[in-house]
Amino acid sequence: MTDMFTRKKRSEIMRRIKSTDTVPEKDVRRLLHAWGYRFRLHRKDLPGCPDVVLPKYKLAVLVHGCFWHGHACQHGRRPRSHTGYWKAKINKNKTRDASNRRRLSRLGWRTLVIWECETKDPEKIARRVRKAIRAK
């Protein structure tokens, strides 16, 4: 199956996909700030450059897009075209995510993964964040 866009147009579309300051990430940050938590963003000195870091609790919050990180929800479905490419791409992302979580753990950091689809339920996020902080 051929792409419906030219190579130039497809490149332009893909270039607009952001890796930081996404809507789900901003939603999580807004909630954390409203609940009184203070945090740092995108700490480059930590493995995987976590989206949100709560240094006081040694907690790294990773906000994952369901599609890009292979979540088992309706948003995480793979495209039906170019299946080999997408399977390899998403599996590589999942492998990298697991490696970054292990590296963070070895450095004494705990991780909390919040999926894009979960950002629609602020109370669920609140419970998970508080549980992760109490687990200290």
Q: Is the pLDDT of residue 20 over 70?
A: yes
75 within some domain: yes
Domain that holds residue 88: 20-134
**For range 1-13, the mean pLDDT:** 79
Q: Does residue 51 belong to any structural domain of this protein?
A: yes
- Assess contact for 63 and 116: CB atoms under 8 A: yes
- For 10, phi then psi, to 5°, come to -60, -40
CA-nearest of 15, 103, 123, 14 to 62 is: 103
Q: Chain-wide mean pLDDT for the chain?
A: 90
| Percent of the chain predicted with pLDDT > 70 | 97
Query: pTM for the complete prediction?
Result: 0.84
Model pLDDT, residue 64: 94
Q: How far apart are CA 92 and CA 94, in angstroms?
A: 5
As for how many domains the chain has, the answer is 1
Does 117 map to a domain?
A: yes
Residue 97 lies in a domain: yes
Q: What CATH code is carried by the domain that includes residue 123? A: 3.40.960.10
Provide mean pLDDT across the span 54-75.
93
Q: Looking at the domain assignment, is residue 110 inside a domain?
A: yes
Q: Is residue 64 part of a domain?
A: yes
Q: What angle do CA 124, 126, 132 make, to 5 degrees?
A: 105
pLDDT (0 to 100) of residue 2: 64
Tell me if 1 is assigned to some domain.
no
Count Cβ atoms within 10 A of the Cβ of residue 67 and give its class: 0-12 exposed, 13-18 middle, 19 or more buried.
Answer: middle
Residue 34, in any domain of the structure: yes
What angle separates helix 122-134 from helix 23-34, to the nearest 10 degrees?
Answer: 60
Please name the helix (run of DSSP H) or strand (run of DSSP E) that holds residue 64, with its range, or none: strand 59-64
Count Cα atoms within 13 angstroms, Cβ side, for 62: 21
